[in-house]
Amino acid sequence: MAHRVLRRPLTYELLGRLGKNAYSRQNKRAQGIWFDFTSREMKAALRRENLVVWANAFFPFELLHALGVSPVHPETIAALAARLGLSRQAISCAEAGGYSPDTCSFYRCATGLNMENLLPPPDLVISASYLCDGAVKFFHNIARYYGCDYFLLDVPYHDTENARKYLAGQLEELAGIIAARQGKRFNPDRLVEALELSNQARDYFVRTNELRRASPSPLSGDDAISYVLDMQFFGPGSRAGADFFKALYEEVKTNVDSGQGPVAPEKLRLLWLHYIRPYYPNEVLSYLEEAGASICFGEANYVYWEPLDVAKPFESLAARVLANPSGGPLERRADLALELAEKYRVDGVIHFSHWGCRQSCGGEYVIRDLMKKKGVPMLILDGDGADSRNYSREQTRLRLEAFLEMLEANK
């Protein structure tokens, strides 16, 4: 079957080679680093060169890079399957196996791929208890399926000193568990190195985000919530992550200095809320760009954590996890959305309401009401990131057209 290409190391080698010219119009060097990094990690996992560890997007990957394991992130693989037009078959397979259509399509897609033996079997499975409600059960089921150990990183609801100590203790315990599985002692120097690389990436990303305040917006919103976000999740702590964000900064700065951007002329500036977008073939983002509306920023790209303290590595990683404004009380996310709308001088906000994503969609109307009080229109756009069956081209286009017409009338 065509989708079995996902199981072949050669697939990721070819993707790495072709990526520089295949994904977007800009940011070629950064894009190439991402393709090379992603393809190398998947090849290593498929060939079982190291201990294979499955982990979810909100786990601090600095720890895994420091330990030298082969991380597998199913969310990225599901997005890739959707991009290649292969997600529907995998999702149908999962649903035939008893997985409800009400659950997140990314995890249904990854489940279906796994049921067809297309993913590298894990030696250990890890998931953080936030932000995705479905992640905990998905990763737990994967561990049961393979009969391997499962480690739940229990993230407290509130960011307090005791919460940081509790979380830091779990991370330190996990480091010892993984090192023991590798038959070696944990090397703290490797973790220090990973944190230093993470700080380098963070510094360049913060500087990039400042550049994105320019008009026209110097970075495509499509890129920002696809491969840039992917590196934001899985790159920190790696040399590739540091190199990627340095290259991205240089390319975005070049665009700012030359007054160039992906949307010309830029008629409207939009803020995108939610961590994802539709990854299967669709016209949502391309339509916005063609209409002169740029996604100048998205909440997913906000750098919410302070530089990591290499003298207190586990405590710093714990603080980073707990600082995520999408975790904890809704007020944190709402306050950030209002701050970003003002900082990036947006004309409107689009909240992409991904089917099955309860923790994000649950607060959308509160945020919309707060935006309304500030005079910022917000569109709640129902959709799905991986399952094209929940995408209606005509209905989506009509809603976007009406929203943009309203924004233009308000200018």
Summarize the confidence of residues 294-309 as an average pLDDT: 98
Spell out the residues 6+ positions from residue 409 whose beta carbon is closer than 8 angstroms to its own. Answer: none
Examine the pLDDT at 298 and tell me if it is beyond 50. yes
Summarize the confidence of residues 271-286 as an average pLDDT: 95
In which residue are the tokens 């030359």 written?
A: 258
φ, ψ of residue 298 to 5 degrees: the values are -135, 145
Torsion sign (Cα): 235, 236, 241, 244: positive
Q: Let me know: does 215 contact 347? Beta carbons within 8 Å.
A: no
Residue type at 267?
A: K
Q: Let me know: does 24 contact 44? Beta carbons within 8 Å.
A: no
Q: Let me know: does 265 contact 292? Beta carbons within 8 Å.
A: yes
Tokens of 396: 């989506």
User: In angstroms, rounded to a whole number, what is the distance separating the alpha carbons of residues 292 and 52?
Assistant: 44
Q: Residues of the chain with pLDDT > 70: what percent?
A: 93
pLDDT in tens, 190-228: 999 999 999 999 999 999 999 999 999 999 999 999 999
What DSSP assignment string belongs to 27-77?
Answer: -HHHHHHHHHHHHHHHHHHHTT-S-EEEE-TTS-HHHHHHHT-EEE-HHHH
pLDDT in tens, 30-40: 988 998 899 89
- Encode burial over 12-36: b for 16+ CB neighbours within 10 A, e otherwise: beebbeebeeebeebbeebbbbbbb
3-class DSSP assignment, residue 126: strand
Q: At what angle do helices 188-211 and 239-258 cross, to 10 degrees?
A: 10
Which of 168-172, 191-195, 224-228, 311-315 is the least confident region? 224-228
Peptide bond into 377 cis (omega under 30): no
Q: What is the pLDDT, as a whole number, of residue 32? A: 87
Q: What is the pLDDT, as a whole number, of residue 15? A: 53
Residues counted in the chain: 411
Examine the pLDDT at 26 and tell me if it is beyond 60. no
Summarize the confidence of residues 245-269 as an average pLDDT: 96
2 compared with 85, residue with greater pLDDT: 85
Examine the pLDDT at 13 and tell me if it is beyond 80. no
In which residue are the tokens 């597998």 written?
A: 72
pLDDT in tens, 51-102: 999 999 999 999 999 999 999 999 989 998 999 888 999 999 999 999 999 9
Q: Let me know: does 305 contact 133? Beta carbons within 8 Å.
A: no
Tokens of 292: 């002169």
Tokens of 67: 């330990």
pLDDT band, very low/low/confident/very high, at 383 (cuts 50, 70, 90): very high
Summarize the confidence of residues 376-399 as an average pLDDT: 96
Q: Let me know: does 303 contact 316? Beta carbons within 8 Å.
A: no
φ, ψ of residue 123 to 5 degrees: the values are -90, -25
User: In angstroms, rounded to a whole number, what is the distance separating the alpha carbons of residues 94 and 137?
Assistant: 14
Mean pLDDT computed over every residue of the chain: 93
pLDDT band, very low/low/confident/very high, at 9 (cuts 50, 70, 90): low
User: In angstroms, rounded to a whole number, what is the distance separating the alpha carbons of residues 198 and 321?
Assistant: 14
Tokens of 21: 């010219």
State which H helix or E strand residue 11 sits in: helix 9-22
pLDDT band, very low/low/confident/very high, at 14 (cuts 50, 70, 90): very low
Does the global pTM surpass 0.75? yes
